[in-house]
Structure 1
Amino acid sequence: MLVLGVCSLKGGVGKTSVTLGLASAALERGLRTLVVDLDPQGDSTMALGATGAAAGDVASVLDAPSDATVAAATVASSWSARGLDVLAGSERSVLHDRVDDDDLDRLRHALSWVAGYDLVLIDCPPSLGGLTRTGLTACDRAVVVTEPGLFAVMAVGRAMRTIDELRRGSAPALQPLGIAVNRVRLRSVEQAYRLQELQTLYGPLLLSPTIPERAALQQAQGAAQPVHAWPGAAAAELADVFDQLLERALRAPRR
């Protein structure tokens, strides 16, 4: 079971959209997948059609990790009758954003009761707080999501340093999968400059292909549908990108 964290340290770059795109690719590939919604905004839970259906939520799991709390917080996504489940998000999870380093393994401990999945996707909050660190501590690999803009690029460096700090502390098995660049407009001179900057700074850690800015992604998510099921050439283009990114994640060696 691969546990893949999706994170960013700047809001508004499409972190949850990337999580949902990877979930769509996994569903299309036939991988049994669990999405853990650690973001207090709960956007993944809503987009996956899992609101109001669980007896518990991720906050109750972090309060008291056990097989019972995990089972109570897990609900099937409306995207599929089987094969895609959600550990439901909650506004209450913000209470765990200020945790001591000794408590960072709560989600990892909870996932020890998870079985039968090929892939776990953890949608982390867009911050450096305890929730993000808790999520990454539970991961084998981490994807840092950015967009080709000045402040988003600056946030990548902070995210990569956080991953490195966790590797040397609470999460020695954690490895960066790479940097996913979202909302790319190929005709933008400024974006081309930022993409080159990212390439210079991070080299092979810059994931390919980049994710183009297409309205189809937001349209599919707004309708609580996987992008692979959305009609049109733009959706097909996005689906192919997420297929390739998922393939990269599945091929990455694990300890």
Structure 2
Amino acid sequence: MQVVSISSLKGGVGKTSVTLGLASAALAAGIPTLVVDLDPHADATTGLGVRSADQLDIGRLLKIARRGDLGANVVPSGWVASAIRHNPPLSGKPPVLDVAVGSAYSGIYDRPDLGRRDLRRLATLLSRLEGYGLVLIDCPPSLNGLTRMAWTASNRVLLVAEPGLFSVAGTERTMRAIELFRREFAPNLSTAGIVANRVRPGSNEHTFRLAEMRQMFGDLLLSPTITEQANWQQIQGAAHSVHHWPGESARNAAGYFDELLKNLVDSGRLRSRVARRA
């Protein structure tokens, strides 16, 4: 099971949008996926079309990590029904896209003084989880306890940045923070790469900053870059998967995330897990 944290230490760069795009691509690819909404704002939960249920949210599960059952408290994304309507599964088994529901309660752990025991709370919950090929963790835009908790539980960290001065500088700071954290707490953690998001191809500033990012980060800058989508807010406001939204713009965006997911994870290994799960 691949566990990937989607992170940025600067807010407003579209981190949650990238999480949702990757979740949409994983659903379309048939990869059983869990999205852990660790941001206290819980925007990923809203965007994934999750209806209120009796399950415990991720904050309350973290509090009882030793005895908590994450698998029993996930909620199916509302996107799954739409996916089945568009592409009925040949095996008769529905695709899997589940959500560990976010809430403001998780904010009790978003502080800088968490010890090693607290940092392992999410890892403890995930260690008992079965049936998924991919776990995507939507982190808060800070280096407080929740992000560090996510990094402790992850194999890799995917960074999201806009091609702007402050975002590029923030990405460089995040890279340094990951290296320091890896040395002290998570020796097996690696950087999956950097996604350039909300790119405007006609912008001279964006063209300059992308060149700067290629020079600074080399192969860590992933392909493709994600072009700014005029209807992205509409898609998210409708709590809809980009892969099942009509129009050429949405199809192009879906293609970006398909390619990004392919470059992010070992799709062949994930699909073999899907076969064993079936």
From 175, 193, 197, the equivalent of 2:190 is 175
Distance, in Å, in 2 between the alignment partners of 1:65 and 1:5 is 19
Aligned to 1:251: 266
Is the 8 Å Cα contact of residues 104 and 170 (structure 1) preserved in structure 2?
A: no
Q: How does 1:24-35 map to 2 (within 5 A)?
A: 24-35=24-35
Distance, in Å, in 1 between the alignment partners of 2:108 and 2:78 is 28
Aligned to 1:108: 123
Distance, in Å, in 1 between the alignment partners of 2:243 and 2:45 is 18
Q: CA deviation at 1:141?
A: 1.1
Distance, in Å, in 1 between the alignment partners of 2:129 and 2:230 is 35
Distance, in Å, in 2 between the alignment partners of 1:39 and 1:54 is 20
Question: Structure 1 residue 159 and structure 2 residue 169: aligned?
Answer: no
Is the 8 Å Cα contact of residues 143 and 176 (structure 1) preserved in structure 2?
A: yes
Greater CA deviation, 78-87 or 16-25? Answer: 78-87
Distance, in Å, in 1 between the alignment partners of 2:50 and 2:238 is 13
TM-score, normalising length: structure 1:
0.95
Q: How does 1:120-139 map to 2 (within 5 A)?
A: 120-139=135-154
Letter in 1 for 2:228: E
Q: How does 1:1-255 map to 2 (within 5 A)?
A: 1-66=1-66, 68-81=68-81, 82-98=95-111, 99-102=113-116, 103-251=118-266
Greater CA deviation, 18-27 or 133-142? Answer: 133-142
Decide whether aligned partners of structure 1 residues 68 and 100 sit closer, same or farther in structure 2, where only a CA change above 3 A counts: closer
Decide whether aligned partners of structure 1 residues 183 and 54 sit closer, same or farther in structure 2, where only a CA change above 3 A counts: farther
Q: Secondary structure at the match of 2:70?
A: helix
RMSD over equivalenced CA pairs, Å:
1.7
Is the 8 Å Cα contact of residues 105 and 170 (structure 1) preserved in structure 2?
A: no
Q: How many residues align?
A: 254
Distance, in Å, in 2 between the alignment partners of 1:109 and 1:214 is 38
Decide whether aligned partners of structure 1 residues 138 and 2 sit closer, same or farther in structure 2, where only a CA change above 3 A counts: same
Is the 8 Å Cα contact of residues 158 and 193 (structure 2) preserved in structure 1?
A: yes
User: For structure 2, which runs of at least 5 residues remain unmatched after alignment?
Assistant: 82-94, 270-278
Decide whether aligned partners of structure 1 residues 54 and 31 sit closer, same or farther in structure 2, where only a CA change above 3 A counts: farther
Is the 8 Å Cα contact of residues 68 and 125 (structure 2) preserved in structure 1?
A: no
Q: CA deviation at 1:73?
A: 3.3
Letter in 2 for 1:156: T
Letter in 2 for 1:57: D
Q: Secondary structure at the match of 1:186?
A: coil
Is the 8 Å Cα contact of residues 9 and 171 (structure 2) preserved in structure 1?
A: yes
Letter in 1 for 2:168: V
Q: CA deviation at 1:219?
A: 1.9
Greater gyration radius? 2
Distance, in Å, in 1 between the alignment partners of 2:8 and 2:54 is 27
